[in-house]
Structure 1
Amino acid sequence: MQFEAMAFLEKLDTATLAFIASLVFLTVAVLFVVVYFSRRTYAGFGYWVAWQICSLTGFVVFANRGPEPGPYSILLTNLFLLTAPALLCHGFIRFHDLRSGRLLILTNYLPVALALAAQFHFTFVVPDQQSRIVVFSLARMAVLIRCCVELLRSREMRTSPSFFLFAAILLVLIANDLFQIWRIWQPAAEIDSWGGANIKFALLVGIAGDILGAYGLLLLIRERLERELDAARHNIEALARTDALTGIWNRRHLDEIVGLEVERARRYRQPVSLILLDVDHFKSINDRYGHAAGDDVLRQIAALGRHSIRSTDTIGRWGGEEFLILAPGTPLANAGHMADKLRRAIADHAFAAPGRVTASIGVAEWGIGDDIDSWMRRADAALYLAKQSGRNRVETAEIGEHDQAIVNQA
């Protein structure tokens, strides 16, 4: 199998492979540039554009230097092909908002700078092709390993399907660099910097890695866009169900929750109570202190209500100065105590403009003979009775004989 692979590589033409690689990198670079200037992109994408341009330039210089490259073409090829993965890594750091100090980011380019200095030495001072290959491979391995570390630091990346794609690409590139170093150390190793099987294999790996890497980066952007769209959709749905003034649920959401709780009560034979609260003399507060003061009263009562109920209860603004609390698993007596606790909290609270504010509350437990409308009417009747009886009080709606409480039917 190994000999068949080597024979296949020997048949390939290096110039043709280099030309194909240049075309692939040119296509991807153009795609990235178009996306960068015509679409919304994220932090780090500019570095990925630079990564593609550096890779393209490096392969173009390599394709044009031929089997007997000059010293400057060698340095230029190494410069662009080593800077490219450093830019890719920098893009990951920015894209995932990984907290890295300026010094730490500069170390991303340190292997590139050291390798170029060594390449200059082994090109002009002490010409040594084997040392140049080892230096190049070691430097690129260092940058690629740093890239792997940055991917592991990102929680977003670790949970992304593209993580495995990038991990596979980086590991293959690192393995290729290790293979190049191992091959150099073999006794009587023949080094061919143009037509050797190792060069052709590296070109094939570069072509495949660039295509898959570009796909992975675009997949990362699509995943983030989908997450942001889902979050925006959830926010819009929450806003559509939330009262803009008080921040608690609005009537639309309460209507749905009431229906669900009634169905649950019917199915599981569990009690559920409804608490209807109305702010006393609210029109007088608006007339005397202004609508801004009235709005502040509503916001503070909503906050008091949130702190007075259990996590299983639901509170919302029913309309105007009326609030509704739904208490599942709560019989009438317990709901009455809960309502009175809230009434006292409101009466004892120091409001900014009016000072003291009171509320009247009606409580009704759902009964077997109730539908939603009759249940609401009984709670509203209890609230009206509290108003008529002097306000700042709680009244409960007793269940008639035909509306026996389901807690007694369990």
Structure 2
Amino acid sequence: MLQALHTGTLSVTAAMVMTAVAALMVLISATRKSYPGFRLLSLGHALLAIGFILSAFRDGVPSWLPVIVANYLILTSAALKFDGICLFYDGWSARSSTINHAVSAVATLVLGYFLYIDPNINARITAVSSAYSVILARTAAVPFRQKKIEISAVDWVIPFAHSLLIVILGWRTYMAATSDQIIDFINGDLLFRLTLMAAILAAFMSFAAYLMLAHRRIERELIEARNQAETLSRTDSLTGCWNRRHFEEQLQREFERAARYGTAASLLIFDIDHFKAVNDGHGHDIGDVVLEEVAGRMRHSLRATDLLCRWGGEEFAILVPTPLPKARALAEKIRARIAEEPVAPVGSVTVSAGVAELEPGESTERWMRRADRALYRAKALGRNRVEQDPGEESVGSLDRLQWSASFHSGEPALDAQHKSLFEITNRLMAVGSDDTSHAAAAAIFDVLSDDLRRHFAYEESLLVRIGYKYMDAHKAEHERLLSLIGSIIARHEAGLVSTADAAHAISKDVIFGHILSEDRNYFSALCDAAEKSASTV
């Protein structure tokens, strides 16, 4: 059967197949997304096509062209395809590439020796086939040396095609080394024809494998891109922490896991102390630096099982699968770590924290509300501290605001008004939930609304007198709070919000969010004005 096949015809067929494959790969590289190595693979197939043509057509050409040049092109094509596949699998190295090209060079020198010095066709066949087999074997092993990917069926296609060629070349080497001297290469070396046929099959299989490998790579990149986009949609771009959306989903999962298996879970909420003063005094760029630094120090204190989230603004939340004592110890560790080293150029930065452990049968909303309440208590007690909400037995004690000497502004009338607003809010918190209590709460709301208006008017006149530079922003905040209080009172009167929730909202926004936060920003200006007045007297 092999005798009936014409070597020249097979060579032309093989060359046409190699050229077509090379052209298609170049077209793909130019018009579609391709990967490192595709152009080298294309060039390898093109050189192989030229080599086969030169090997088959010898009449009327110098012997060095079909023997030395043709075989050198064939061996170089194999070396280039090795480089291309290595690049595709991200496993290329200069050392591995040099070995193949060195093998090609040595085999070419041997060809020259057995062509001009000691003419011997069998020796030349043995040299070329052996060198070709070495390079093909190294190429077939490339997919299996990679540790980044899991080997699948498509990764076996190229090794299989190369192994088929290696078997034929090995047979050819053996026959050339053990048989009589071949006189007529074209008609005498039947295994060369078989090699051409195997090369055609290998070219088709390799091309199909390249396409399948590229398709697999594109699919994986699409999956990675989708996962990355999903991660970005759940990540805070400034700090790299998880965002609120992701945290709330994980909080629900942890809640369900704790309910099912009875495991412990605690929630830690942190707030950077006097962060508005940082933004106002240093600018938002420096504020961002502080947020990033605080987030980094928190992250370095956590385990892989702990979940850190930027809750919003200067607030961070951490979900930990531990009981309350360990969660509080972790919060103290984080608080101390943040406070121990200044943040340039701001200086000392501190945080307040509230900690609450999930109770059996408790909703996630109540759990978070208790952690929030513990945070407010920490801020009310002077900041740079950790407070915990141990559960139902202590709710009453945590529902009462405690006035502290650390809240004094240095302006007696102002401090008296602040303390009065504390007491009015405490009266609201002490009110029950029946109809009579609802009416009593409504009366307290009226007193609170009137006192708050008078307080804001006095405070604004005071700030105008001392020339407070953020007066406009402070006045706008007053207007926002009055509007908020009016909305809360209206919803309470309509029965849409309970007295407890209304009192909690007022304590959060008015007491903690404004009196113990925003108002403290002008205390230094008050002191400066008082000192200036004393010096003039």
Tell me the TM-score normalised to structure 2 length.
Answer: 0.66
1:30 aligned to which of 9, 12, 23:
23
Once the two structures are superposed, the pairs formed by residues 142-291 of structure 1 within 5 Å of their partners are 142-148=134-140, 153-156=145-148, 159=151, 161-188=153-180, 192-195=184-187, 197-291=190-284
Note the alpha carbon deviations across 1:207-245, whole angstroms, 9 max, x for none: 111111222333333343334333333322222211111
Pairs aligned (count): 392
Q: What is the distance in 2 between the residues matched to 1:157 and 1:285?
A: 48
**Residues 189/62 of structure 1: CA separation in 2 closer, same or farther (3 Å cut):** closer
2:375 aligned to which of 383, 392, 398:
383
Q: Secondary structure at the match of 1:42?
A: coil
Q: Is the 8 A contact 2:22 2:41 kept in 1?
A: no
Counterpart position of 1:316: 309
Q: What is the distance in 1 between the residues matched to 2:148 and 2:318?
A: 39
Note the alpha carbon deviations across 1:323-358, whole angstroms, 9 max, x for none: 111122x23333233323322333333222232222
Matched, 1:346 2:334: no
Counterpart position of 1:58: 51
Counterpart position of 2:122: 130
Q: Secondary structure at the match of 2:263?
A: coil
Q: Is the 8 A contact 2:140 2:160 kept in 1?
A: no
Residue 15 of structure 1 and its aligned partner are, at CA, apart by 4.2
Q: What is the distance in 2 between the residues matched to 1:170 and 1:282?
A: 66
Counterpart position of 1:48: 41
**Residues 294/158 of structure 1: CA separation in 2 closer, same or farther (3 Å cut):** closer
Q: Is the 8 A contact 2:354 2:376 kept in 1?
A: yes
- Aligned Cα RMSD in Å? 2.9
**Residues 29/334 of structure 1: CA separation in 2 closer, same or farther (3 Å cut):** closer
Residue 152 of structure 1 and its aligned partner are, at CA, apart by 5.4
Counterpart position of 2:399: none
Counterpart position of 1:18: 11
Work out which of the two has the higher radius of gyration on C-alpha atoms and give 1 or 2: 2
Q: Is the 8 A contact 1:157 1:163 kept in 2?
A: no
Counterpart position of 1:408: none
Deviates more, 1:44-53 or 1:72-81: 72-81
Amino acid corresponding to residue 267 of structure 1 in structure 2: R
Deviates more, 1:307-316 or 1:253-262: 307-316
Query: Which segments of 5 or more consecutive residues in structure 2 lack a partner in the other structure?
Result: 396-537
Q: Is the 8 A contact 1:130 1:191 kept in 2?
A: no
Q: What is the distance in 1 between the residues matched to 2:117 and 2:327?
A: 90
Query: Which segments of 5 or more consecutive residues in structure 1 lack a partner in the other structure?
Result: 1-7, 404-410
Matched, 1:371 2:363: yes
Q: Is the 8 A contact 1:317 1:323 kept in 2?
A: yes
Q: Is the 8 A contact 1:90 1:108 kept in 2?
A: no
**Residues 341/75 of structure 1: CA separation in 2 closer, same or farther (3 Å cut):** closer
Identical aligned residues as a percent: 38
Q: What is the distance in 2 between the residues matched to 1:75 and 1:99?
A: 28
Tell me the TM-score normalised to structure 1 length.
Answer: 0.84
Q: Is the 8 A contact 2:122 2:181 kept in 1?
A: no
**Residues 244/167 of structure 1: CA separation in 2 closer, same or farther (3 Å cut):** same
Note the alpha carbon deviations across 1:104-148, whole angstroms, 9 max, x for none: 644422333333344344445554332332232223233334435
Note the alpha carbon deviations across 1:334-392, whole angstroms, 9 max, x for none: 32333233223333332222322222222222223422222222222222222223322
